[in-house]
Structure 1
């Protein structure tokens, strides 16, 4: 069985989205700055000898995530603001949407959106079954990611730390209200720090 991984781009002041998230601004006002590293075309994502494959630190991280992800879990708000933008599932794998609504599955070009209305545990069980030996990726909105961390359902947290202060928006880890009974802390074990000129990739294991 693969890992359950929260992966999110965040600002130095902890925001995973800007304010005023809408379908027209799916990352909130100014929040698209958090994902600029994905679309760089300079040295770090230069073209390899085959003329197609990007090379460099950031490109390698993207390729690894694509290769290891077997299923995705997102929240309903992320689905609502993202589906028209993606025109597909966010990864070419089954995608499970945590929601309170009953809704039939939505087939797309590369995968199927399955709507799960009986809780985080059910969404994760279905995603794990679909993913097989690959990872389940919790992505999109910070609220759903925070709920999975709070429920103790996450194996690793991967943060893409972007060198910017957004100043406002939605913080990824506000008000977890969980962890050690004495301290309230959730201790993490650092797995890797991978630097590029545009973002620092941080990986943490979540002990259970």
Structure 2
């Protein structure tokens, strides 16, 4: 059975991106440090067409995070650009990842501003959804063809899926840094009845991987 999953790196003070996001620092000031645990891994390097790398306790966790994904959802803040707003026609923005993004499956971007789909190299196509998170998820599930749907972020969109009871699996990669500001993950959940059942904890190099099944009312 397909699942809706989220794997996301988070600082000890609860941020998934640092403050003052810019084109030079897409994850905000200090935010790149959230992924220092993954970048040295051979599995990460292979995904980005690089050779070498390490094998550690984090390897199987990382490999699982990229396995069996048929489609994904992300928020406009993660796709960019900084400032959001209507799409520029003279200089179209196609994400932070260059001509060959690392997804290689359909990605549904939740936005307030309509735009035609953008097909990239390597099998990634960005679809822009103005109908909200449920519409984006329904389209992603159909495109996934029975595989899992990944909610990649950012923090606001993950929180919305969690509060709506639409997330099945949440894995936090907790990194021992303090960002002091930026995009938080678990704000504004309101009075929703969300419960997390911890099913795994793995100690990696510079990170703790905590995996939860999401339990909420009506599920």
Length-normalised TM-score, structure 1: 0.86
Structure 1 stretches lacking a partner, 5+ long:
181-185
Aligned 8 A contact 2:40 2:54 in 1: no
Structure 1 CA distance for aligned equivalents of residues 145 and 78 of structure 2: 24
Confirm whether residue 195 of structure 1 aligns to residue 203 of structure 2: yes
Match of 1:138 in 2: 151
Q: 1:122 to 1:41 in 2, by over 3 A?
A: closer
Of 147, 157, 165, 2:178 maps to 165
CA contact (8 A) 2:37 2:205 kept: no
Instruction: Give the Cα–Cα distance (whole angstroms) in 1 for the partners of residues 19 and 28 of structure 2.
Output: 5
Q: Distance in 2 between matches of 1:76 and 1:136?
A: 17
Once residues 204 and 70 of structure 2 are traced to their aligned partners in structure 1, the CA distance between those partners, rounded to angstroms, is 26
Q: Partners of 2:192 and 2:5 in 1: how far apart? A: 18
3-state secondary structure, aligned to 1:60: helix
Indicate how the Cα distance of structure 1 residues 89 and 96 shifts in structure 2: closer, same or farther if over 3 A, else same: farther
Residue 106 of structure 2 aligns with which residue? 94
Structure-to-structure mapping, 1:23-38, within 5 angstroms: 23-38=23-38
How big is the shift at 1:71? 0.9
Q: Deviations over 1:98-146 (max 9, x none)?
A: 0111111100112210111111111001111111232111113111111
The unaligned stretches of length 5 or more in structure 2 are: 82-93
Q: 1:160 to 1:205 in 2, by over 3 A?
A: same
2-structure distance, mates of 1:178, 1:68: 33
